[in-house]
Amino acid sequence: MIKFYGDTPSLAIWESVQDFKHISHLEMISGFDEVCTIAPLDEIGRFWPLESLLLGDVCGEDINTNHLRTIKSLTLLYCCGLSFNSISLEGPSQLNELIIIENDACDHFIKMKEETCLINNLSQLKIQSTNGCDFSHQYERECFGKTLIQCNSLKSLDLTLHDLSDDSPRENYLIDLPYFFPSNIEILRFRGPPSLTNHLSVWQKCIEDPKWLPKLKSIKFSLDVTFNGKEIPLETENIAHQQCLQLLNDLESFRPSITISTFSH
């Protein structure tokens, strides 16, 4: 494993690791300049058996490396406005796991599906988007569900989402999101905002429908997500917790074989 922290690696630093062998994991966490010079990786690490890549605090960069086609796991940690122009819609991809944490996490996911082949074979997806940076420029909220439902190979879905929309509840993409979960999901983890307690009818309809996620084996569900971790009023928290328990109890009565739990605090 190699980790680069701070300023983007100079060519001299890249060359200093070119004789390393058996490198399966690479982390690049940018410094104040939010730059990530990853192009030398294809020359320096062309023989590395790289399986996973983590990029952190990178902004507005084109992640141009052929290793994107061969790695099995990609993590984007507080990145923003990335592009993947070296990867087309056609071609192979071995990416099995995608983790995107904060900033325009949902936008990144949509872009990767629209413009690349990277998530065609994805089986594990984790997205956390709570700091209000999504859906500000290129994509509308409705694009997220429409993209998600196309990921037919997904077996594990982990979502932590908060919506800052001031529109009517009908415009809140989180309300109808359960309709867009891919049918092959076996493991589902969902954390949303307490405001969803007023709009759980979609979840209720879904859990009563045997055709909804027929392969589901386990679920974790909670409505405790706030913008940037803002404290939830105690009464609101209690109501949300009770609503979650009721929903999960209903699910258990319809599907007793599913492992059901809430998130611990």
Q: CATH number for the domain including 147?
A: 3.80.10
Reading the block at residue 217, the tokens are: 């084996």
Residue 199 DSSP one-character state: G
Name the amino acid, one letter, at 44. Answer: I
Q: 68, 86 in Cβ contact below 8 A?
A: yes
Whole-number pLDDT of residue 265: 55
pTM: 0.93
Residue 18 three-state SS: coil
Strand ranges, E, within the chain: 2-6, 25-30, 52-56, 73-77, 97-101, 124-129, 156-161, 187-192, 218-223, 259-261
Residues 94 and 174 reside in one and the same domain: yes
Residues 105 and 227 reside in one and the same domain: yes
Q: How far apart, in Å, are the Cα atoms of 225 and each of 129, 145, 239, 247, 262? A: 10, 19, 14, 17, 13
Residues 133 and 71 reside in one and the same domain: no
Please name the residues in contact with 124: beta carbons below 8 A apart, sequence gap of 6 or more.
Answer: 96, 97, 98, 154, 155, 156, 158
What is the rounded distance in angstroms from the CA atom of residue 108 to the CA atom of residue 105?
Answer: 5
Residue 145 three-state SS: helix
- State which of 84, 118, 137 marks the end of a domain: 84
Whole-number pLDDT of residue 173: 84
CB atoms within 10 A of CB 197: 18
Whole-number pLDDT of residue 132: 86
Residues 57 and 153 reside in one and the same domain: no
Residues 117 and 53 reside in one and the same domain: no
Place of tokens 């009563």: 208
Total domain count, the chain = 2
Whole-number pLDDT of residue 128: 97
- State which of 42, 59, 84 marks the end of a domain: 84
What is the rounded distance in angstroms from the CA atom of residue 219 to the CA atom of residue 5?
Answer: 36
Name the amino acid, one letter, at 110. Answer: I
Whole-number pLDDT of residue 228: 66
Name the amino acid, one letter, at 120. Answer: N
Whole-number pLDDT of residue 163: 74
| Residues β-bridged to residue 35 | none
Whole-number pLDDT of residue 99: 99
Reading the block at residue 113, the tokens are: 């599906």
Name the amino acid, one letter, at 56. Answer: G
Could you tell me the sign of the dihedral formed by the alpha carbons of 213, 218, 224, 228, in that order?
A: negative
Query: Of all helices (H) and strands (E), which one includes residue 237?
Result: helix 234-254
Structural domain including 130 reads 87-265
Query: Of all helices (H) and strands (E), which one includes residue 241?
Result: helix 234-254
Residues 217 and 171 reside in one and the same domain: yes
How confident is the prediction along the chain (265 residues), in pLDDT tens digits per residue?
Answer: 899 888 778 888 888 888 888 899 999 999 777 888 888 888 888 888 999 999 999 999 999 898 999 999 999 999 999 999 889 888 789 999 999 999 999 999 999 999 999 999 999 999 999 988 888 878 999 999 999 999 999 999 999 998 765 544 545 789 999 999 999 999 999 999 998 998 899 999 999 999 999 999 999 999 998 876 677 888 888 998 999 999 999 999 999 999 998 776 5
- What distance lies between CA 65 and its chain's CA centroid? 21
Residues 251 and 184 reside in one and the same domain: yes
